[in-house]
Structure 1
C-alpha cells in the first residue's frame, strides 16, 4: 500500500496515544507508511488565549502555534513506539513517524500565509503535496456535515467561508493551487473502526480539490 500523511487532531488527545499504538499495528499489517502531522490541541488553545489577552501579531502567533504542534508530537510519541523526525521525507513501508513541524518549517516554510486560517490542517496538506502522497485528516467527528448529514464526498468550494471540521486555509488551497489533491476526513475516536474504514476505503468524507475561476473566488484572501 502507499504512504500517507495523517493529520491527527488535538481533539483526540484523550485517546490519541491509543490511536498511535493501533496505527503502528495497522501500518505493519497493511505495509503502509504514515507520516503523522500533530494538531495543536490544548497547546494551541493556550496560544489563542494569550493572543486574545495580549494582542500578539499573527506572525508571532503562527510560530507559537507551530511550536504547540511540536509539543503534541512529543506527547503522541511518548510510550507509543512512534519515531520523531524533523525531515520531510516519505515514510517507509510499515513505518509510522511523527513530524516535528517547527523544526521542519523553519528550514522550509511551506505556508503561504501566517494567520489562524492556516492551521495544522493546511500544514498537513502542504506537506502531503510536497511529498506527493494522500492526506488523511483524523478527528473526533464522522466527517463533514452538510444539512445535518455526513457527506460522503464533496468539492472543496462547497466549504469556502463556511465553518466545518477543516480549516479555511485547506479549503482555499484545494480550491486553488492544490486543486489536484483531496482530503479524506475520518473519525479516529475508535481505532478499530478507523482501521476498518482505512482497509475498505469507505467512510468519512472525501473533500475533492476543484480550481475556481477568478469570478468564483470569494472576497478577501485567496491563494492563487
Structure 2
C-alpha cells in the first residue's frame, strides 16, 4: 500500500531538505507519495483577499496552484519525480512521487466532496489519499493532536490515538480534513516534520511520538 506524506506549508522552506532526505531513506522499502501545502504562498493570497474582491473559485484556483509551486520545489530539492495525474502517481515507484494537484482538482465538479471554501491543503491531502487508497501522514510543525490547544490550556493531554468522530475541538488538523478522513476511511497519522527522523522510524515500524487518527 502507498503512503501519502503531506508536507505542511509551515515546514516550507526551512525543513524541506531534511524531510526530503528522510523520504529518500525509506523510499526503497515503501511506495512514498508526497503532496505539499501552500504555506506562505497562500498567506499572500489571503492578504490579497483583504484588499481585492476575489471569487471563491478564483481563490481556490490560486491556492491549488500554490500547492503546485511547492510541488515543484519539493521535487527539485528532493530529486523526486513530479506527477500531475493520479495514474502517473501510482505507476512510478522508483523514487518518491510528488503530486501537483491542479490538473486533477481544477477539473473536478464542485459537490459535497469538493466544496471550494472548505478545501484546505490537509483536506485535499485526505481526499487524494482516500481516492488512491493510501495511508496518510500529515507532517506539520506540532507533535500531533492534543485534547485542547496547549497554548491556551497548558495541561492539555497529548493524544496518541483518537477517533475522527471525537475531534470536535480545534486542532492542528482542520475540521474539514477530519470530515474527509471519515468520508474516505483514511488511516492517518499526524507527526512533527521538524524532527524528520520520526518519519523514518515510523515507516520502519518503530514507536514515535505522534497521533493516529482512526477513521471511526
Q: Secondary structure at the match of 1:73?
A: helix
Higher deviation after alignment, 55-64 or 123-132 = 55-64
Find the aligned partners of 2:159 and 2:215 in 1 and give their Cα distance: 15
Q: Out of 154, 158, 162, which is 1:150 matched to?
A: 158
Q: CA deviation at 1:61?
A: 1.0
Answer whether contact 1:38 1:73 (CA < 8 A) is retained: yes
Match for residue 101 of structure 2? Answer: 101
Answer whether contact 1:3 1:92 (CA < 8 A) is retained: no
Normalised by the size of structure 1, how large is the TM-score? Answer: 0.83
Normalised by the size of structure 2, how large is the TM-score? Answer: 0.86
Q: Out of 169, 175, 191, which is 1:186 matched to?
A: 191
Find the aligned partners of 2:120 and 2:171 in 1 and give their Cα distance: 13
Find the aligned partners of 2:46 and 2:190 in 1 and give their Cα distance: 24
Q: CA deviation at 1:157?
A: 2.3
Q: Name structure 1 gaps, 5 residues minimum.
A: 211-224
Q: CA deviation at 1:109?
A: 5.4
What do the CA deviations read for 1:86-136 (whole angstroms, capped 9, x no partner)? 011326545301111112223445852001x32111111111111111111
Distance 1:78 1:185, change over 3 A: same
Counting matched residue pairs gives: 203
**Map 1:45-60 → 2, pairs under 5 A:** 45-60=43-58
Answer whether contact 1:152 1:206 (CA < 8 A) is retained: yes
What do the CA deviations read for 1:181-217 (whole angstroms, capped 9, x no partner)? 231111111222321133225331111223xxxxxxx
Q: CA deviation at 1:172?
A: 1.9
Q: Secondary structure at the match of 2:90?
A: coil
Answer whether contact 1:35 1:91 (CA < 8 A) is retained: no
Answer whether contact 1:21 1:81 (CA < 8 A) is retained: no
Find the aligned partners of 1:46 and 1:94 in 2 and give their Cα distance: 35
Match for residue 9 of structure 1? Answer: 8
What do the CA deviations read for 1:51-110 (whole angstroms, capped 9, x no partner)? 122132222111110011111111112232111110113265453011111122234458
Q: Does 1:169 align with 2:176?
A: yes
Distance 1:48 1:83, change over 3 A: same
Q: Name structure 2 gaps, 5 residues minimum.
A: 149-155
Match for residue 216 of structure 1? Answer: none
